């Protein structure tokens, strides 16, 4: 059936596009930019077709497409989406063209390679979200490291080499242990089903039968890899370096999509494959998540660099996502999923906005600015919406996610204590403090620097086109979240049912 | 025992390369331009044999009363040797001029060493192993010191020769003990009676001595002392040959000699030996490579560490891990030859430009070389979906199936360490500005060698089944 090939089209569009870019001349900068944008827009259109063909009343994976790839190891090219992965696929295909468009002034050096890297990165990220074979997943997980490494390393700031190597090695450390766990799981499955298999749907049945002691180790190996990516406190130290040194486009993709691969991995792999261990470790991980929420917020508060402030706020926001995931109630997990999207939109927008003024002034320190509301009113409004969305103001998207997570955590029988909610809620307050304070210092007051008057110009049409779609979705999710929550509801329920069916004895 | 004509026919790759050597010697004697003719002859010869080997992979036979095996696993090894040697010859043409050894003899010695390797991989008798090994090793000693005016080349040749002879001594002593206890030199006899023979301590001692000798040849810790100096001192293309095909040949013997443990279900008495060697080689190689600035030296340590990954397969010794080693060897041959070819292109006269500094800003000087060198580095580091990753993956699968999960974990720890120094090369190529201005002279031959290697690294990565199915179909022969 042709419909089943849609995901494959989606996945291969950026791959083919990126390879095609390699054959263009080095100096056809303008053409390459348009071409990159065009390819990523095609991918977006395909993902929209998938969205409209998706039946959200079914919890099963849809648009399945399976082709045997490595027969001797029984590895298939096996893709499919459920509500959760579809939402993240849409986020990826939505952000990529906007990011590409945002770089038309910022990236001057080697545009060809940049476009190649971005398209290749998009393919890697999409692959992570749609793989239903754990081996295939691992390949995409690793592959997307390379373009990101180049994006930080070539177009990054002063300490880009340090940041890119740190990013690469941190991620590699986690994922290689996951590789051993993947092989172990497949070998274990061959003892049970009689076949060496890495098919995720089959492993869902096998994973929970692993003896508890070993399951803990397996869970640990997978979780470490995802926790580094999220990043969960205390594994977050690569993030500020990578974010600060990366070019704007890199930061947007990093915050917008890459970090979600970690939380998505937890939801898709850690929970259903090792439900007993997930429940055992839930309190510990939730404590780490809450430490991350508060720590990230406190560190953001004292930053003098706007970009670093936004980077640390990611640690805080993703703490919420992890907390919601391990609360394991429908509300909390739904909240976590929607919060992944929210964070992608609001932090993505913040990074874009930081990038926009950085392009004009080449300064990112808060103290340099002040009173820019008078100079760039449109910019100030956009920054206001993005900041408030990140703060979690009711009516904007951040509120929905955080509220659902806090509500779900409160009711959680796995965590079974309202202290988690109390401490997590302080993160919301701190977020208001550091973001609004930053906003006040940058935007309000008198114009401190006369230089600003010369350099700072308001948003141009291209930047407007980049920001408007993001702002629309920020408001949309805030006002009418059902569009998105409805998509993920059945899938969330099915994951939680799967978990609780194996852990009944632990829960009660 | 009478030998039929058909047996001679099946032996044709050996006869072909033997003829090739004789013809080359004659050409060398009668013309003054042998250095222009012989590369062509060698390339055609190697290409013909590698195609022949792959086509005749299913014509499995044991010839001359159990002396030599053709088809099956040896065919795959012959493919690796010949295609590897072909790529090396292609990259040598331009390099030798620069290096000051633009002589025709070079190609004759390369051909002879390949004949030695083919005998090793095909041997079914322990004396044949020795014959092949000596043929290969002596050629390597000569190749290492090929530029006799250069001090470092002489040092490397002498060091290799002395230590290599010592290792050969171990092997001969081991063979003597094996023969003394088994009463037979046939590997077929030894493997089929392995279970009963291995209760004899003298037999096991002899066998371990034999294995130690080959551990030296594969460059495993703690028998690695010669590797860095020899790799650094020899001509870059020669290093490429030694580190890939030479290693493959030594591994082929190890695979044949421990075949009993994975095909006949004899007890795996060498598991502790190989496990320790594997773990130490991986860690030692990766850790020491971090601090190397000379790329040839860095790749020498990386070669020690790769020997360790492959030795995991020997420790696990099940069919999965053995086919994993063979895949790994093929993958390693292409990525390493590719890397050495790029180094040989960048290298200047008189041992200059082999430090990592010379690679700074390479992407502005030659985007193609930069892209391929990065590809080889990522492949060596084991990033999917490149060939190097699958090599590691199959070996790890074998290890975990064989109950050696700890060894797989040591393997990934070593991989994490190794990522750092492979990436460092990429950092220099793409992220740093050029330190030294020069224009690399890229001959079309060496560029083709790089492109062919890169294509294989990609193809074996994206479609590993192509090679793996072939290996699996002959693994139990």
Q: Residue A345: CA atoms inside 13 Å, Cβ hemisphere, count?
A: 35
Q: What is the 3-state composition of chain A as percent helix, strand, coil, each rounded to the nearest 5?
A: 80, 5, 15
Once rounded to an integer, what is the mean pLDDT over residues B150-157? 87
Encode pLDDT of B370-387 as tens digits. 999 999 999 999 888 899
> In three state form, how does the secondary structure of A13-37 look?
HHHHHHHHHHCCCCCCHHHHHHHHH
For residues A125 and A498, give the distance between their C-alpha atoms in angstroms, rounded to a whole number: 26
Find, among B156, B140, B128, B331, the residue nearest to B227 by Cα: B156
Mean pLDDT, residues A480-505 taken together? 82
Domain boundaries, chain B: 5-474
CB B388 within 8 A of CB B382: yes
Single out the residue of A53, A79, A88 nearest to residue A266, CA to CA.
Answer: A88
In angstroms, the CA B372 to CA B448 distance is 12
Q: Which of B104, B95, B116, B204 is nearest to B164 (CA)?
A: B116
Average pLDDT over residues A277-294: 89
C-alpha to C-alpha distance for B321 and B255, rounded to whole angstroms: 11
Write down the pLDDT at residue B96.
85
B408-442 tens-digit pLDDT: 999 989 998 998 899 889 888 888 888 888 888 88
Contacts of B469 in chain A (CB under 8 A): 71-72
Q: Give A139's contacts in chain B (Cβ within 8 Å).
A: 384-385
Give the pLDDT score at B136: 93
**Given a cut of 90, is residue B401 above it in pLDDT?**
no
Query: Of A315, A305, A309, which Cα lies nearest the Cα of A358?
Result: A305
The pLDDT of residue A508 is 42
Strand partners, B68: B63, B123
Percent of chain B, pLDDT > 70? 98
From the list B394, B404, B400, B265, the residue with the least C-alpha distance to B320 is B394
At residue B326, does pLDDT exceed 50?
yes
How high is the pLDDT of residue B240?
A: 92
Contact A180 B430 (CB under 8 A): no
Cβ of B412 within 8 Å of Cβ of A169? The answer is no
Average pLDDT over residues B451-457: 94
Q: Is the pLDDT of residue B89 over 80?
A: yes
Average pLDDT in the B13-26 region?
Answer: 92
Q: pLDDT (tens digit, 9 = 90+) per residue, B228-277?
A: 989 988 888 999 999 999 999 999 999 888 877 777 667 778 888 899 99
Show residues of chain B in contact with A73, CB under 8 Å. 394, 397, 468
The dihedral built from the CA positions of residue A29, A32, A36 and A41, taken in this order, carries a sign that is positive
What is the predicted pLDDT for the residue at B2? 64
Q: Is B393 on the interface with A (CB under 8 A)?
A: yes
pLDDT of A243 strictly over 60: yes
What is the per-residue DSSP string for B300-339?
Answer: HHHHHHHHHHHHHHHHH-SHHHHHHHHHHHHHHHHHHHHH
pLDDT at position A504, please? 58
Q: Tell me how far apart the alpha carbons of residues B420 and A441 are, in angstroms, rounded to a whole number.
A: 41
Residues with Cβ within 8 Å of B29's Cβ and at least 6 positions away in sequence, in order, are: none
Q: How many CA atoms within 13 Å lie on the side-chain side of B36?
A: 3
DSSP letter for each residue of A248-264 = HHHHHHIIIIIHHHHHH
Strand partners, B62: B69
In this model, does residue B144 exceed pLDDT 70? yes
**A68 by DSSP, 3-state: which?**
strand
Element (H, E) at A500: helix A482-502
The answer to whether A304 and A366 have CB atoms below 8 angstroms apart is yes
Enumerate the residues of chain A whose CB falls inside 8 A of the CB of residue B468: 70, 72-73
Q: What is the overall mean pLDDT for chain A?
A: 86
Average pLDDT over residues A188-200: 84
Return the higher-pLDDT residue of B346 and A2: B346
What's the Cα-to-Cα distance from B115 to each of A493, B78, B253, rounded to whole Å?
65, 9, 15
What mean pLDDT do residues A43-71 have? Answer: 86
* B219 band by pLDDT with thresholds 50, 70 and 90: confident
pLDDT, residue B451, reads: 94
CB contacts of B401 in chain A (<8 Å) are 187
CB B370 within 8 A of CB B450: no
Residue B121 CA to residue B10 CA, distance in Å, equals 15
Q: Which of chain A's residues have a Cβ under 8 Å away from the Cβ of B405?
A: 180, 184
CA A474, CA A390: separation in Å to the nearest integer? Answer: 10
Rounded Cα–Cα distance for residues A251 and A55 (Å): 33
Q: B324 CA to chain A: closest CA distance, Å?
A: 11
- What's the confidence (pLDDT) of residue B84? 94
Q: Which residues of B touch A123 (CB under 8 A)?
A: none
Find the CB nearest B416 among A154, A172, A183. Answer: A172
Q: What are the angstrom distances between the C-alpha of B84 and each of A283, B248, B394, B452?
A: 56, 10, 22, 11
Q: How close, in Å, is residue B231 to chain A by CA atoms? A: 28
Would you call B465 and A69 a contact, using CB atoms and an 8 Å cutoff? yes
* Paired tokens of A45: 């259109």
Q: Which two tokens stand for residue B83?
A: 């295609």
State mean pLDDT over B128-144: 92
Q: Are the C-beta atoms of B381 and A168 separated by less than 8 Å?
A: no
Inter-chain CB pairs, A–B, below 8 Å: 81
A-interface mutation test, from B394, B400, B417, B458, most A Cβ less than 10 A away = B400
**Closest residue to B385, CB basis, from A72, A139, A160:** A139
Torsion of CA B130, B135, B138, B140, to 10 degrees: -110
Nearest to A317 by CA among A413, A386, A241: A386
Among B384, B385, B395, B472, which would you mutate to test the A interface (most chain A Cβ atoms within 10 Å of its Cβ)? B384
DSSP B237-248: HHHHHIIIIIHH
* Domain residue spans of chain A: 279-508
Burial A483-507 (b: 16+ CB within 10 A, else e): ebbebbbbbbebbbebbbebbeeee
- In angstroms, the separation between the Cα of residue A381 and the nearest Cα of chain B is 37
């Amino acid at each position: 059936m042709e419909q089943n090939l849609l995901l494959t089209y989606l996945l291969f569009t950026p791959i083919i596009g990126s390879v095609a870019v390699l054959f263009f001349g080095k100096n056809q900068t303008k053409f390459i930019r348009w071409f990159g944008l065009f390819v990523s827009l095609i991918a977006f259109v395909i993902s929209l077709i998938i969205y409209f063909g998706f039946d959200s009343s079914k919890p099963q994976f849809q648009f399945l497409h399976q082709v045997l790839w490595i027969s001797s190891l029984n590895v298939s090219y096996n893709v499919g989406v459920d509500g959760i992965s579809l939402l993240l696929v849409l986020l990826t295909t939505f952000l990529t063209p906007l990011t590409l468009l945002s770089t038309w002034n910022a990236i001057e050096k080697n545009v060809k390679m940049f476009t190649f890297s971005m398209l290749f990165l998009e393919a890697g990220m999409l692959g992570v979200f749609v793989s239903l074979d754990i081996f295939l997943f691992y390949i995409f997980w690793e592959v997307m490291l390379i373009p990101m490494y180049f994006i930080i390393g070539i177009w990054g700031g002063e300490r880009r080499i340090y940041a890119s190597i740190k990013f690469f090695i941190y991620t590699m450390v986690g994922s290689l242990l996951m590789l051993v766990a993947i092989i172990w799981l497949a070998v274990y499955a061959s003892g049970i089903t009689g076949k060496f298999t890495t098919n995720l749907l089959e492993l869902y049945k096998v994973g929970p039968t692993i003896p508890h002691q070993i399951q803990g180790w397996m869970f640990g190996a997978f979780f470490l890899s995802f926790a580094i990516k999220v990043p969960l406190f205390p594994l977050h130290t690569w993030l500020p370096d990578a974010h600060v040194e990366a070019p704007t486009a890199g930061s947007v993709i990093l915050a917008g999509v890459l970090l979600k691969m970690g939380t998505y991995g937890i939801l898709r792999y850690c929970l259903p494959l090792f439900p007993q261990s997930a429940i055992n470790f839930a309190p510990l991980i939730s404590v780490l998540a809450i430490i991350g929420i508060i720590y990230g917020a406190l560190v953001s508060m004292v930053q003098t660099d706007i970009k670093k402030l936004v980077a640390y706020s990611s640690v805080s926001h993703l703490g919420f996502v992890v907390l919601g995931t391990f609360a394991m109630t429908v509300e909390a997990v739904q909240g976590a999923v929607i919060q992944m999207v929210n964070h992608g939109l609001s932090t993505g927008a913040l990074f874009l906005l930081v990038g926009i003024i950085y392009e004009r002034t080449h300064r990112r320190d808060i103290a340099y600015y002040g009173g820019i509301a008078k100079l760039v009113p449109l910019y100030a409004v956009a920054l206001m919406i993005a900041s408030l969305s990140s703060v979690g103001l009711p009516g904007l998207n951040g509120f929905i996610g955080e509220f659902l997570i806090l509500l779900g955590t409160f009711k959680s029988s796995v965590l079974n204590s309202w202290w988690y909610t109390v401490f997590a809620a302080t993160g919301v307050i701190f977020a208001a403090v550091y973001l609004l304070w930053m906003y006040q210092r940058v935007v309000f007051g008198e114009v401190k620097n006369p230089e600003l008057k010369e350099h700072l110009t308001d948003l141009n049409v291209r930047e407007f086109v980049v920001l408007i779609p993001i702002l629309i979705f920020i408001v949309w999710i805030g006002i009418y979240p059902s569009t998105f929550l409805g998509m993920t509801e059945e899938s969330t329920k099915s994951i939680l049912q799967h978990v609780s069916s194996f852990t009944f004895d632990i829960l009660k | 025992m009478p030998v039929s004509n058909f047996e001679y026919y099946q032996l044709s790759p050996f006869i072909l390369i033997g003829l090739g050597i004789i013809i080359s010697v004659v050409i060398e004697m009668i013309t003054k331009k042998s250095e222009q003719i012989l590369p062509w002859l060698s390339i055609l010869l190697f290409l013909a044999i590698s195609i022949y080997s792959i086509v005749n992979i299913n014509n499995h036979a044991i010839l001359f009363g159990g002396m030599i095996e053709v088809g099956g696993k040896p065919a795959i090894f012959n493919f690796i040797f010949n295609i590897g040697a072909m790529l090396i010859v292609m990259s040598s043409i331009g390099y030798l001029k620069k290096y000051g050894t633009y002589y025709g003899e070079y190609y004759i010695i390369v051909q002879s060493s390949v004949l030695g390797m083919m005998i090793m991989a095909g041997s079914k008798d322990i004396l044949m192993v020795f014959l092949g090994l000596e043929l290969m090793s002596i050629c390597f000693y000569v190749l290492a010191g090929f530029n006799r005016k250069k001090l470092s080349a002489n040092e490397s040749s002498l060091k290799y020769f002395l230590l290599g002879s010592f290792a050969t001594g171990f092997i001969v002593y081991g063979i003597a003990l094996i023969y003394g206890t088994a009463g037979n030199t046939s590997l077929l006899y030894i493997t089929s009676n392995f279970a009963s023979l291995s209760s004899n301590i003298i037999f096991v001692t002899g066998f371990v001595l034999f294995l130690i000798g080959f551990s030296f040849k594969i460059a495993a810790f703690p028998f690695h002392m010669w590797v860095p100096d020899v790799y650094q001192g020899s001509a870059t293309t020669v290093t490429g040959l030694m580190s890939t095909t030479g290693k493959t040949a030594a591994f082929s013997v190890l695979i044949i000699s421990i075949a009993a443990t994975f095909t006949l279900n004899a007890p795996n008495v060498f598991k502790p030996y190989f496990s320790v060697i594997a773990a130490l080689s991986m860690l030692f190689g990766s850790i020491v490579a971090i601090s190397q600035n000379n790329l040839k030296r860095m790749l020498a340590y990386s070669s020690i560490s790769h020997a360790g990954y492959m030795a995991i397969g020997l420790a696990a010794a099940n069919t999965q891990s053995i086919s994993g080693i063979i895949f790994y060897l093929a993958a390693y041959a292409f990525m390493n030859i590719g890397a050495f070819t790029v180094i040989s292109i960048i290298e200047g006269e008189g041992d200059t430009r082999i430090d990592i500094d010379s690679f700074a800003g390479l992407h502005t000087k030659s985007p193609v070389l930069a892209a391929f060198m990065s590809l080889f580095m990522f492949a060596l580091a084991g990033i999917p979906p490149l060939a190097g990753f699958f090599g590691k993956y199959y070996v790890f699968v074998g290890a975990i199936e064989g109950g050696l999960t700890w060894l797989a974990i040591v393997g990934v720890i070593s991989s994490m360490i190794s990522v750092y120094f492979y990436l460092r090369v990429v950092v220099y190529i793409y992220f740093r500005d050029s330190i030294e201005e020069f224009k690399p002279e890229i001959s079309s031959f060496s560029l083709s060698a790089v492109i062919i290697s890169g294509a294989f690294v990609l193809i074996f990565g994206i479609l590993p089944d192509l090679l793996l199915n072939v290996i699996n179909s002959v693994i139990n022969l």
